[in-house]
Amino acid sequence: MPELEWVRRARSFGPRVAVTSDGHDHSYDSLLSISEAIAASLLDGSTDLDEQRIAFLIPASFDYVAVQWGIWRAGGIAVPLSLFSADPELEHVITDAQVDRIIAPEDSLAKLRPLCDRLSVPLLSVDQISSRQSVPLPELDAQRRAMILYTSGTTSKPKGVVSTHANIQAQITTLVEAWGWQSKDSIPLFLPLHHVHGIVNVLGCALWSGAKVDCFGSFDAQAVLERVADKEYSLFMGVPTIYVKLIRILEAADEGDRARYADGFAHMRLMVSGSAALPASVHEQWTDLTGQKLLERYGMTEIGMAISNPLQGERRPGAVGVPLPDVTIRLVSEAGELIEEENEPGEIQVRGPAVFSEYWHKPDVTEASFVEGWFRTGDMAVLEDGYYRIMGRLSVDIIKSGGYKLSALEIEDTLLMHPAIRECAVVGLPDDTWGEVVAVAIVTRDGEHIELPALKEWATERMSSYKIPKSLLLLEDLPRNAMGKVTKPAIQDLFD
């Protein structure tokens, strides 16, 4: 049986630089040899990991990629963990995915050790597994399950989205074709690597193409801008919040710096925005500052990218464009009828080889998320003059903040563990920087008082920082409709 296509391609790129991290260049050859050593360590005498789940908590770096490839080459399922998760969130992923082992850099072991000990999951350091002698690696089929990413939804706890190698390959190749990826491309990577945006759109596409990825452990705007000014990059991908933050920095910079940064951006062949709606005003400000017309696209963890403005042709502010190659889209009305005309809104449903295989160990939820083989995205859109425009989510309980998808129900469930909270309702409020920010209305027990700073401190132990409410309203009772159901739009209106 042949090797997986991405390994074969990496061999052909040999000495070219694949990844730059901490100031060091790492070639495709080196990625192949280190990932082979990691695979041998993980196999530890067995011939195939047979889809064991191996989790890893590693910032964007050469080590991240070598571990991801090592797990894949040994036949395992990669479960990347979020660097921003609090312990209870990590515990949910580790237990739900029935993780077999966890890999982390040497300097994170002490922080993870108590949790791993409590859950009886072995913890390995990257160094410990990177120097094993090579052994024969298993032959893998593209239908093998490759990755589980956790995504929040309309259930209280995040679900594991399972993608096969064939799914990931399809998610990559559609973008390589549509956005014209080439081996001479070079791209900065500052997005989190537990989501499709960073993993597939940046890392996956670049390494598939023989291009170079410059890793930043986090979004360090000043460091990124200096590299941009040096004209290091041909491509750039970010969420709208990143463009909003960069606009502020460019506007505040002195004339000389602003010109250097703007020149660096103008030099690129493509800049992409996605993960959340890009306001038309931000699109236009970016063009005014840099001359670049951002390409906006639409995607989801379960399907990769589905709709995109074109590389050549009109990039329309406020619209996400047309279906990508090999992706089929339909809009369906609330009544379940197929929409065949323009200007009629409906739910986006998707088919194609990039669509995930299942929610991990949730056959009922998986089945309910498809209708006649089409995946139901829960996003509403309308077709206008040949381009799709996203209108919002079907569920008020999904919040998008800084590009992260958050479940209001999950945050509520956590806040209800607070001893003074009797009832609460979490909502998203519009925000110029973050798209939406998390806010909470609370009814306390016995008229107790809660202050926002104390609530934030309490929540820090229990949830990622972007889920922590940024505004708080204390109410005697939550607004309800005639059926007694809490009405979230009424709560949103109560916040000014």
Q: Is 277 in the site for ligand AMP (CB under 6 A)?
A: yes
Which of ligand AMP, ligand MCA, none is residue 296 near (CB under 5 to 8 Å by kind)? ligand AMP
Which of ligand AMP, ligand MCA, none is residue 466 near (CB under 5 to 8 Å by kind)? ligand MCA
Binds ligand MCA by CB under 6 A, chosen from 301, 349, 369, 414? 301
Q: Is 192 in the site for ligand AMP (CB under 6 A)?
A: no
Q: Is 301 in the site for ligand AMP (CB under 6 A)?
A: yes
Range in contact with ligand MCA (rule: CB under 6 A) among 38-46, 71-79, 239-247, 326-334:
239-247
**466, two tokens:** 């972007």
Which of ligand MCA, ligand AMP, none is residue 218 near (CB under 5 to 8 Å by kind)? ligand MCA
Binds ligand AMP by CB under 6 A, chosen from 379, 397, 410, 436? 379
Which of ligand MCA, ligand AMP, none is residue 241 near (CB under 5 to 8 Å by kind)? ligand MCA
**Residue 286 CA from chain centroid, whole number:** 23
Q: Is 196 in the site for ligand MCA (CB under 6 A)?
A: yes
Closer Cβ to ligand AMP, 242 or 276, answer by number? 276
Q: Is 201 in the site for ligand AMP (CB under 6 A)?
A: no
* Contact letters for ligand MCA, residues 452-481 (x by CB under 6 A): -------------xx---x-----------
* Contact letters for ligand MCA, residues 416-455 (x by CB under 6 A): ------------------x--x------------------
Tell me which amino acid residue 426 is: V
> Closest distance between ligand AMP and the C-beta of residue 377, in Å?
5
3-state secondary structure the chain: CCCCHHHHHHHHHCCCEEEEECCEEEEHHHHHHHHHHHHHHHHCCCCCCCCCEEEECCCCCHHHHHHHHHHHHCCCEEEECCCCCCHHHHHHHHHHCCCCEEEECHHHHHHHHHHHHHHCCCEEECHHHCCCCCCCCCCCCCCCEEEEEEECCCCCCCEEEEEEHHHHHHHHHHHHHHCCCCCCCEEEECCCCCCHHHHHHHHHHHHHHCCEEEECCCCCHHHHHHHHHCCCCCEEEECHHHHHHHHHHHHHCCHHHHHHHHHHHHHCCEEEECCCCCCHHHHHHHHHHHCCCCEEEEEECCCEEEEECCCCCCCCCCCCEEECCCCEEEEECCCCCECCCCCCCEEEEEECCCCCCEECCCHHHHHHCEECCEEEEEEEEEEECCEEEEEEECCCCEEEECCEEEEHHHHHHHHCCCCCEEEEEEEEEEECCCEEEEEEEEEEHHHCCCCHHHHHHHHHCCCCHHHCCCEEEECCCCCECCCCCECHHHHHHHCC
Q: Is 198 in the site for ligand MCA (CB under 6 A)?
A: yes
Closer Cβ to ligand MCA, 41 or 301, answer by number? 301
Rounded distance between C-alpha atoms, residue 62 and residue 23, angstroms: 11
Which of ligand MCA, ligand AMP, none is residue 143 near (CB under 5 to 8 Å by kind)? none
Q: Contact 436/428 with Cβ under 8 angstroms?
A: yes
Q: Is 191 in the site for ligand MCA (CB under 6 A)?
A: yes
**277, two tokens:** 């709606």
Q: How many residues sit in the footprint of ligand MCA (CB under 6 A)?
A: 25
421-431, strands of its sheet edge to edge? 421-431, 435-444, 471-474
Range in contact with ligand AMP (rule: CB under 6 A) among 41-49, 129-137, 275-283, 470-478:
275-283
Q: Which residue is nearest to ligand MCA (CB)?
A: 402
Binds ligand MCA by CB under 6 A, chosen from 75, 192, 346, 428? 192
Q: Is 275 in the site for ligand AMP (CB under 6 A)?
A: yes
> Closest distance between ligand MCA and the C-beta of residue 434, in Å?
4
Q: Scan residues 137-166 and list those touching ligand AMP (CB under 6 A).
A: 151
How many other CB atoms are there within 10 angstroms of residue 371's CB atom? 13
Q: Is 404 in the site for ligand MCA (CB under 6 A)?
A: yes
Binds ligand AMP by CB under 6 A, chosen from 56, 208, 219, 298? 298
Closer Cβ to ligand AMP, 36 or 379, answer by number? 379
How many other CB atoms are there within 10 angstroms of residue 306's CB atom? 28
Which of ligand MCA, ligand AMP, none is residue 151 near (CB under 5 to 8 Å by kind)? ligand AMP
Q: Scan residues 401-460 and list those touching ligand AMP (CB under 6 A).
A: 405
Residues in contact with ligand AMP by the rule CB under 6 A: 151, 196, 274-277, 296, 298-301, 320, 377, 379, 390, 393, 400, 405
Residues in contact with ligand MCA by the rule CB under 6 A: 191-192, 195-198, 218-219, 239, 241-242, 274-275, 299-301, 401-404, 434, 437, 465-466, 470
